[in-house]
Amino acid sequence: MSESVVSVRDLVIDFHTEGDTVRAVDGLSFDLAAGRALGIVGESGSGKSATALSLLGLHRGGNADVTGSIDVLGTDVLAASNEQVRQLRGNRIAMVFQDPLSALDPFFKVGDQIVEAYRAHNKVDRRAARKRAIEVLDRVGIPDAARRVDAYPHEFSGGMRQRALIAMALALSPEVLVADEPTTALDVTVQAQILDLIHDLRAETGMALILVTHDLAVAAGNVDDVLVMQRGKAVEHGPAADVLGAPSAVYTRELVAAVPRLEQPRESKVVGGEPLVRVDDVHQVFTVGSFLNRTKVHAVEGVTLDVLRGEALGIVGESGSGKTTLARMIVRLLRPTSGRIRFDGRDLADDRALREVRRELQMVFQDPVSSLNPRRTIGESIADPLRVQGEDASRQRVRELLALVGLDPDRIDRYPHEFSGGQRQRIGIARAIGLRPRLLVCDEPVSALDVSTQAQIIRLLASLRSEFDLTLIFVAHDLAVVRQVSDRVAVMSKGAVVELGETDALYDNPTHPYTKSLLAAVPVLDPELARQRRLERGLLTP
Amino acid sequence: MLGYAVRRVSGAVAVLLIMSAVVYVLFFLMPANPAQLVCGIKACTPDRLALISHSLGLDEPLYLQYWHFLVGLFAGRDYSTGPSIVHCAAPCLGYSFQYTEPVLQIIGERLPVSGSLVIGAAILWLSLGIGIGVLSALRRGRWLDHVVNAIVLGGLAVPIFITGLMALMIVCVWLQWMPFPTWVPFDEDPVLWAQNLVLPWIVLALTTMPVYVRMSRAGMLETLAEDHIRTARAYGLPERQVIGRHALRGALSPLITLAALDIAGILTSSVLTETVFGLPGLGQMTVQAVRNVDLPVVVGLVLLIGFVIVVCNTIADLLYAAVDKRVSVQ
């Protein structure tokens, strides 16, 4: 065992908010040896991010109390002076953050930000620093780095911004890289690229890695050891293959069991019904910009598909593929620019026909936080659509709906902020099924939730589906989740459906190259298989 | 960026043209007959009234009047004042028969007064307001922050004619540090100019400042909580660089628009300050012109005010786009 570069003992982090103290980390200890990779996994609120930030002393000046001991490369982070910590940051232990869209200063050029960080630790002139910036941007795969060094962050895509941040770290050649959910905000193919990049850089430079993630599969393919956190404590710590392959702690077992499996076939219902929804050559064109400077964005370009009565149709695609736009057109929240959508034989472009079937088309939205009015009780929010449609909107009815989605009916007069993310999504579902719709369109209903909560919501949707004979459209970016839910799957890319087929057939034998690349990018739980996949990806994209 | 600038400027020109037309129509719709006002009541014979109507151009149809007005704006025009003919050079905003002077000339005499007032005050309130606001954000929750908050609230609550009169009473009457301020043009005596303006500057700055303290404090706190500040710290940038470069820029750029509007507003309509300190500026003049129903002057002033506001706004937009590159994209 080589010497440790990071050594944490009895770490306790308390956050003080008005008159209230929350213990985020509760007696955590671990070591990281030089050149090794440690995955810290856990659900939201487990204290994994707070731990990551404490390694760089980033709680200084905030409202957190940090006790215990943190030793990073011989520096006692908790006792060191501000200047000592400053010299450590970036230079010897660097950090990559979750949201690449906000991690860079929008007012400054990407290259200048790298130059600034580089010069904070190296006595060099601007020109030398700029040369270094171009060099590292080129290394992390920014095309035409010599020119893009002068780009502003908003001119970069999310993946490129994450690369730029990695470049900032790389420029300083730190011994330890702390990556806090580095790919959570990214598409699955981009996620694979970023993780592969970090992997390659580690092989080149020998830097150690602490990878904080909620996604066990992401950890599986990228770390040597895994530390599982729950409520601020380590519940299991060991080699990745052991912890993920044969978990000993109950919590880890539950967590591993909840992870949706891409390779797991599901018992698809045999669907041979007639079409309930017929989408016929539908287009959606958005016009953006001011009246002097208009550009047209083709969000959906000529989609034709049928949704069969009683089936669950999955729609997968990366951001910008048009999947949400298509979903919104099907429930007629958006009027198609051209093309026709018929629901049960009625043309939705006809307002009278729409009024008749409106109640039968309901939608569950992605963000359970912002899709509920914070100033209305959940009972009111659920009753609103019932009242509008002249249905029974009594408290008794709302209580029934709450019970149906697994919530305590006595909480009818509470406000949304008093509920967790998963509970809020249940409220959204209660609101949607109150009108007994025949078609329920769910737009990324579980992407904001932890895996264990995801599994609960998916089970709830499945039981509601059989109970009410619902037809389901399930829009998501997560291919494994879609496989669990859907009978048939449509793969969307750049506004078009590139492949549509029965779920198992499509997952096991994809025909379209885009579907193949998507499936190859999905992280898997088995470290050995992950290694193999990485090699295959390397061959796909030289 | 250049395309954005061209778009903003051409937009501004269009706004000014539309505004001049609207003002002109409003002027026309007013119940008062300007010719009657010039003519007076006692000595006014119908012949004389018709003559004045003609010399004012009021016997022409509206569109022709507006056309002459526009031509005058770009090429100048002649006015006959009974016996003699007065030439009003471009840009001619009209001719006041009450002052017997072209409107532009009247405005030109008052503009330096208001300009001196607003520029000095703006320098004071911007530097003080932003400085105190930022400092208060960095010392959030400490005593300095609380004191600043209390003062800001007080500043917002007390109107300028109270602060102004109190300042005059204390400085000029009780302490007798200086005589009551009067207007001395800059080119006559710069020292006296500044001496006489110190009090108005301070009072105007004190009443305008609280909003800037508030906004820069809130902006600073908001920016300091942003992810990219955490990034800057995580890469070991010295704290003065984190604050001075990254936090300040994000926190202060929204103040550009506010400052532009405040400067335009105070330049053209700080009638209270001007009255309290006896400064013959544009604000006072506006009140007088409205009271005397001196319509050419009113129209000219409205146009000027619009012009100043549009210009300040355009400058602010361009500055903002230069500071924040995302703006010109959207």
Q: pLDDT at position A37, please?
A: 94
The two tokens of residue A371 are 């899709």
Query: How many alpha carbons lie under 13 Å from residue B64 in its C-beta half-sphere?
Result: 7
Mean pLDDT, chain A, as a whole number? 89
Do B59 and B197 fall into the same domain?
Answer: no
Q: How many CB atoms lie within 10 A of CB A360?
A: 17
When mean pLDDT is compared over A78-82, A351-355, B154-158, the highest value belongs to: A78-82
Q: Which chain A positions have a beta carbon within 8 Å of B228's beta carbon?
A: 102-106
User: What CA–CA distances, in Å, run from B144 to B135, B150, B215, B217?
Assistant: 8, 10, 17, 12
Interface of A with B in 148-207 (CB under 8 A): 152, 154, 165, 168-169, 172
H or E element, residue A314: strand A312-316
Q: Phi then psi for B193, rounded to 5 degrees?
A: -55, -50
The predicted complex's ipTM stands at 0.82
Report whether A342 contacts A349 (CB < 8 A): no
Q: pLDDT at position B300, please?
A: 85
Buried b (16+ CB within 10 A) or exposed e, A193-211: bbbbbbbebbeeeebbbbb
Angle at B102 between CA B99 and CA B104, to 5 degrees: 115
Domain with B213, as residue range(s), is: 104-323
Do B261 and B204 fall into the same domain?
Answer: yes
Q: Do B3 and A106 touch (CB under 8 A)?
A: no
Helix %, strand %, coil % for chain B, to 5?
75, 5, 20
Residue B328: inside a domain: no
Residue B22: inside a domain: yes
Burial tier of A316 (Cβ tally within 10 Å: 0-12, 13-18, 19+): buried
Q: pLDDT at residue A348 above 80?
A: yes
Q: Which chain B positions have a beta carbon within 8 Å of A108's beta carbon?
A: 245-246
List the single residue in A with minimal CA-CA distance to B139.
Answer: A61
CATH number at residue B123: 1.10.3720.10
pLDDT in tens, chain B (330 residues): 677 788 888 888 888 888 888 877 877 677 667 777 777 777 778 887 787 777 777 778 888 888 888 888 888 888 776 667 778 877 888 888 778 888 888 888 889 999 999 999 999 999 999 999 999 998 887 888 888 888 888 777 788 888 888 888 888 888 888 888 888 888 888 888 888 888 999 989 988 888 999 999 999 999 998 999 999 999 999 999 999 999 998 888 889 989 998 998 888 878 888 888 888 888 888 888 888 877 788 888 888 888 888 888 888 888 888 888 777 654
What pLDDT digit, counting tens, does each position of A105-142 carry? 999 999 999 999 999 999 999 999 999 999 999 999 88
Q: pLDDT at residue A542 above 50?
A: no
Q: Choose, out of A98, A107, A290, A295, the residue to mutate when testing the contact with B (most B CBs < 10 Å).
A: A107
The two tokens of residue A274 are 């007639």
DSSP summary character for residue A97: -
Nearest to A192 by CA among A183, A203, A200: A183
Q: Do A91 and B325 touch (CB under 8 A)?
A: no
Report whether A441 contacts A428 (CB < 8 A): no
Q: Do B236 and A154 touch (CB under 8 A)?
A: no
Do B205 and B268 fall into the same domain?
Answer: yes
Do B245 and B296 fall into the same domain?
Answer: yes
Do B292 and B177 fall into the same domain?
Answer: yes
Do B61 and B113 fall into the same domain?
Answer: no
Cα–Cα distance, A241 to A220 (Å, whole number): 7
| CB contact A291 to B (< 8 Å) | no
Q: Do B238 and A121 touch (CB under 8 A)?
A: no
Q: Do A103 and B231 touch (CB under 8 A)?
A: yes
Q: Do B233 and A99 touch (CB under 8 A)?
A: no
Q: Do B325 and A121 touch (CB under 8 A)?
A: no
Do B173 and B28 fall into the same domain?
Answer: no
Q: pLDDT at residue A2 above 80?
A: no
Q: pLDDT at position A316, please?
A: 93
Q: Do B3 and A293 touch (CB under 8 A)?
A: yes
Instruction: Calculate Rg over the CA atoms of chain B.
Output: 25
In Å, how far is A118's CA from the nearest CA of chain B? 9
| CB contact B3 to A (< 8 Å) | yes
- Partner residue opposite A91 with nearest CB, options B226, B236, B239: B236
- Partner residue opposite A94 with nearest CB, options B235, B323, B329: B235
Q: pLDDT at position A306, please?
A: 93
Report whether A510 contacts A221 (CB < 8 A): no
In Å, how far is B70's CA from the nearest CA of chain A? 27
DSSP summary character for residue A155: G
Which strand ranges, in their side-by-side order, compose the sheet holding A20-33? Answer: A20-33, A4-17, A64-72, A75-76
Q: Choose, out of B8, B9, B235, the residue to mutate when testing the contact with A (most A CBs < 10 Å).
A: B235
In Å, how far is A237's CA from the nearest CA of chain B? 27
Q: Which chain B positions have a beta carbon within 8 Å of A293's beta carbon?
A: 3, 7
Q: Which chain B positions have a beta carbon within 8 Å of A104's beta carbon?
A: 228, 231
In Å, how far is B1's CA from the nearest CA of chain A? 13
Interacting residues of B123 by C-beta distance below 8 A, sequence separation 6+: none
Report whether A463 contacts A387 (CB < 8 A): no
Q: pLDDT at position A541, please?
A: 53
Q: How many domains does chain B have?
A: 2
Residue B330: inside a domain: no
State which of B103, B120, B139 marks the end of a domain: B103
Residue B158: inside a domain: yes
State which of B85, B103, B121 marks the end of a domain: B103
Q: pLDDT at residue A427 above 50?
A: yes
Report whether A344 contacts A311 (CB < 8 A): no
User: Regarding beta strands A4-17 and A20-33, do their DSSP bridges make them parallel or antiparallel, or are they unpaired?
Assistant: antiparallel
What percent of chain A stands above pLDDT 90? 56
Range in A283-297, A448-462, B118-132, B138-152 the model is least confident about: A283-297
Do B296 and B214 fall into the same domain?
Answer: yes
List the single residue in A with minimal CA-CA distance to B138.
Answer: A61
Q: Do A106 and B228 touch (CB under 8 A)?
A: yes
Q: Phi then psi for B177, rounded to 5 degrees?
A: -75, -30
Interacting residues of A159 by C-beta distance below 8 A, sequence separation 6+: A100, A186, A187, A190, A193, A194
pLDDT band at A356 (very low <50, low <70, confident <90, very high): confident
What SS3 state is found at B190?
helix
What type of residue sits at position A344? D
List the single residue in A with minimal CA-CA distance to B321.
Answer: A107
Per the listing, tokens 């393919």 go with A221
Mean pLDDT of A381-396: 89
Q: pLDDT at position B67, please?
A: 85
Q: pLDDT at position A269, please?
A: 63
Cα–Cα distance, B44 to B228 (Å, whole number): 74
Range in A74-83, A151-160, A530-539, B82-91 the model is least confident about: B82-91
Residue B55: inside a domain: yes
Residue B69: inside a domain: yes
Nearest to B230 by CA among A238, A325, A30, A178: A178
Do B27 and B110 fall into the same domain?
Answer: no
Q: Do A86 and B238 touch (CB under 8 A)?
A: yes
Q: pLDDT at residue A160 above 80?
A: yes
DSSP summary character for residue A214: S
Question: What are the strands, taking DSSP E only, across A160-293?
Answer: 176-180, 208-213, 225-230, 233-239, 275-288
- Partner residue opposite B234 with nearest CB, options A82, A90, A116: A90
Q: Do B234 and A88 touch (CB under 8 A)?
A: no
Q: Do B231 and A172 touch (CB under 8 A)?
A: no
Q: pLDDT at residue A1 above 60?
A: no
State which of B103, B120, B138 marks the end of a domain: B103
List domains and CATH numbers for chain A.
1-92+174-262 (3.40.50.300), 101-173 (no CATH), 275-378+437-521 (3.40.50.300)
| CB contact B142 to A (< 8 Å) | no
Cα–Cα distance, A72 to A68 (Å, whole number): 13
Q: Do A104 and B231 touch (CB under 8 A)?
A: yes
Do B228 and B271 fall into the same domain?
Answer: yes
What type of residue sits at position B71? V
Do B229 and B139 fall into the same domain?
Answer: yes
H or E element, residue A472: strand A471-476
φ/ψ bin of B57: left (φ > 0), alpha (ψ from -120 to 50), beta (otherwise): left
Q: pLDDT at position B329, please?
A: 58
Report whether A152 contacts B326 (CB < 8 A): yes
Residue B68: inside a domain: yes
B91 cis-preceded (ω within 30 degrees of 0): yes
Range in A25-39, A131-145, A257-271 the model is least confident about: A257-271
What type of residue sits at position A456? Q
Q: Do A107 and B325 touch (CB under 8 A)?
A: yes
Q: pLDDT at position A540, please?
A: 58
Q: Phi then psi for A439, rounded to 5 degrees?
A: -120, 125
Do B271 and B296 fall into the same domain?
Answer: yes
Please report the DSSP string for B124-140 in residue order. HHHHHHHHHHHHHHHTT
Query: How many alpha carbons lie under 13 Å from residue A168 in its C-beta half-sphere?
Result: 38
What pLDDT digit, counting tens, does each position of A172-225 carry? 999 999 999 998 878 888 888 899 999 999 999 999 999 999 989 899 989 999
Residue B136: inside a domain: yes
Report whether A459 contacts A465 (CB < 8 A): no
Q: Choose, out of A56, A59, A101, A105, the residue to mutate when testing the contact with B (most B CBs < 10 Å).
A: A105
